[in-house]
Structure 1
Amino acid sequence: MAVAGAAGRRLLAAVLAGVATLCCASGAASREGAQMCREVSFAGVGHTVCEIDLRRYRIDLHWDDSKGAPYGSLGALERELARQGRRGLITMNAGMFEEDLSPVGLFVSAGQVRHPANTRRGTGNFYMKPNGVFFVRGSRAGVAETQAFLKRGIRPDVATQSGPLLVTGGRIHPRFKSDGDSRKIRNGVGVRADGTVVLAISRQGISFGQFARLFRDELRCPDALYLDGSVSRLSVDGSVRAPLSYDLGGLADRRLGPIISVEPR
């Protein structure tokens, strides 16, 4: 009896240890996106900031599914990634779009140009020149002015065009006031000198000038691109983290065009 009891206790201990390990691993996996993100206060405005090491994580861009239907929301994309057995740790809108949710400018996914670059003149934020392109090739990323990007002949794995550029070579967009009157939710992407990709979204309204300084002065990004404004959304580990809203229902299913995802490599 004593031998059997000891053996039983050892077996039970081994089973409990295995369950604990599985639970801890599952918990760690479910919080992996949150481990890349933090809250930052700048110019009196709160922001959610996510820092991505491309040696460990992969950035993809999405627009439509295999049937050609736009995903249209962070929630729809996250559900599709889960169906494929993929883990979308972070999702965020990734550029401006037309009424049919198609991109306004260049859109490259899986190395394929799905929508051409837009070099036309026009009104609105996208056409506030200089605008630019965020791109990733392998484990390297960059933000470049549109014409400079096209002249370099870069063949990225993913790329999205938007505007205006927030910061170029450490210089803030020439048309920005230091603190303009227009204060809206804003999101953008920057790249540090060491290659780290930085996603940021304000949790309250902020001016263009302040948002640009967030990337340059606080987040240490010499190059950064504005992605969009009031429609912007960021989801971490399947839960919408920003912006602040009294209407929490359905935030992940608000209508969006291009979407960025961050997944483990």
Structure 2
Amino acid sequence: MMKRRYGAALLIAILLAAIAVVWWPRRPEPPPLVIGGDLPAPCRNVAFEAVTYVVCTVDLRTYNLAVFHVGADGKPFGSLEAFGKAVAGEGRPVLLAMNGGMYHEDLSPVGLLVENGSEKSPLNLADSEGNFFLKPNGVFLVGKDGKAAVMESNAYAAAKPDVAFATQSGPMLVIDGQIHPRFEPNGTSRYVRNGVGVRDENTVLLAISRSEVSFGSFARLFRDALQCRNALFLDGAVSALSDGKRMIVGGKYPAGPIISVSAKPITSVSAKQPQKQ
């Protein structure tokens, strides 16, 4: 008799547990941070300190790198998706595009923006709150000579380089081989982040994390894994990477300045035939 009662109680407990599993409200799964797909030609996946990144090594002798903000209508592109469609419609598709600096609510740049040699927004040396103003901040630039650099903002103001493209953001991640002095080794602030570093005057490194990462770890990626003596944080939370047709990391986030990479056109030089004597 006791065995029957025990068996019945056990059966009821199993049924109740099954009902709880079926009916108990479940937390929805978070949206994926990565939409994914094959990577653009200059890019690869890099694992560093338990975080995977997409790292794009841009040789300026092979690729054109530019900073864009507004379209033919004079309005900000507003997103990587809109930018990709606009440039493809103009017959100049890009290999990759990444959000390239912080912006106000109207999508105007917070700091310096130089597009095709024309200054669209001035250098911002003010003090305020937020990541942009976590001094030292800096400027990523490509000079009119085709050479790249990441410079601390005050150094940029003093040098007044002749630039073709430039975007200002902050904070600096790496300054002359040193991690930003305000960073903790592994702070509690964690976001999907993207940034830019320069290994030498011809080699630009664009990186975006595939999951949340601290400032300290992100800075060490540029210094230790990518060998960049100077690197600049571009943004977090809204960080995204596109190949011009589809999103690879991130979603349909708003964007102010946009960094674009495209292949240089192949030029052929016909050898002159020697004249017959």
**TM-score computed with the length of structure 1 as normaliser:** 0.83
Partner of 2:70: helix, strand, or coil? coil
| 1:161-240 equivalences in 2 (<5 Å) | 161-193=168-200, 195-236=202-243, 238-240=245-247
Match of 1:109 in 2: 115
AA at the equivalent of 2:255: L
After TM superposition, give the deviation of residue 67 of structure 1 in Å. 2.0
CA deviations 1:162-206 (Å, max 9, x no partner) are 000000110010000111111111000000036310000001110
d(CA) in 2 for partners of 1:237, 1:117: 29
Partner of 1:35: helix, strand, or coil? coil
After TM superposition, give the deviation of residue 119 of structure 1 in Å. 0.6
Structure 1 residues 141 and 97 mapped into 2: Cα distance closer, same or farther (>3 Å)?
A: same
- Within the alignment, does 1:40 sit opposite 2:46 as a pair? yes
AA at the equivalent of 1:196: T
Bigger-Rg structure (1/2): 2
Match of 1:123 in 2: 129
Residues 85 and 244 in structure 2, CA contact (< 8 A), matched pair in contact too: no
Residues 41 and 95 in structure 2, CA contact (< 8 A), matched pair in contact too: no
Match of 1:28 in 2: none
Residues 90 and 237 in structure 1, CA contact (< 8 A), matched pair in contact too: yes
Percentage of pairs with the same residue: 48
d(CA) in 2 for partners of 1:111, 1:103: 16
Partner of 1:144: helix, strand, or coil? strand
Structure 1 residues 79 and 237 mapped into 2: Cα distance closer, same or farther (>3 Å)?
A: closer
d(CA) in 2 for partners of 1:194, 1:81: 27
d(CA) in 1 for partners of 2:165, 2:194: 19
Match of 1:15 in 2: none
Runs of at least 5 residues in structure 1 that lack an aligned partner in the other structure: 1-30, 244-250
Match of 1:262 in 2: 261
Match of 1:90 in 2: 96
- Within the alignment, does 1:49 sit opposite 2:55 as a pair? yes
CA deviations 1:38-96 (Å, max 9, x no partner) are 00111111110000010111111111112221100001111111111102100000000
| 1:3-18 equivalences in 2 (<5 Å) | none
Off by >4 Å, runs of 4+ in structure 1:
none
d(CA) in 1 for partners of 2:134, 2:235: 13
AA at the equivalent of 1:165: M
d(CA) in 2 for partners of 1:36, 1:190: 15
d(CA) in 1 for partners of 2:169, 2:201: 23
Greater fraction helix: 1
Structure 1 residues 121 and 194 mapped into 2: Cα distance closer, same or farther (>3 Å)?
A: closer
After TM superposition, give the deviation of residue 237 of structure 1 in Å. 5.1
AA at the equivalent of 2:183: F
d(CA) in 2 for partners of 1:155, 1:146: 15
d(CA) in 2 for partners of 1:208, 1:223: 15
d(CA) in 2 for partners of 1:218, 1:145: 21
d(CA) in 2 for partners of 1:166, 1:100: 26
**Bigger shift: 136-145 or 97-106?**
136-145
In the alignment, which of 138, 142, 148 is matched to residue 136 of structure 1? 142
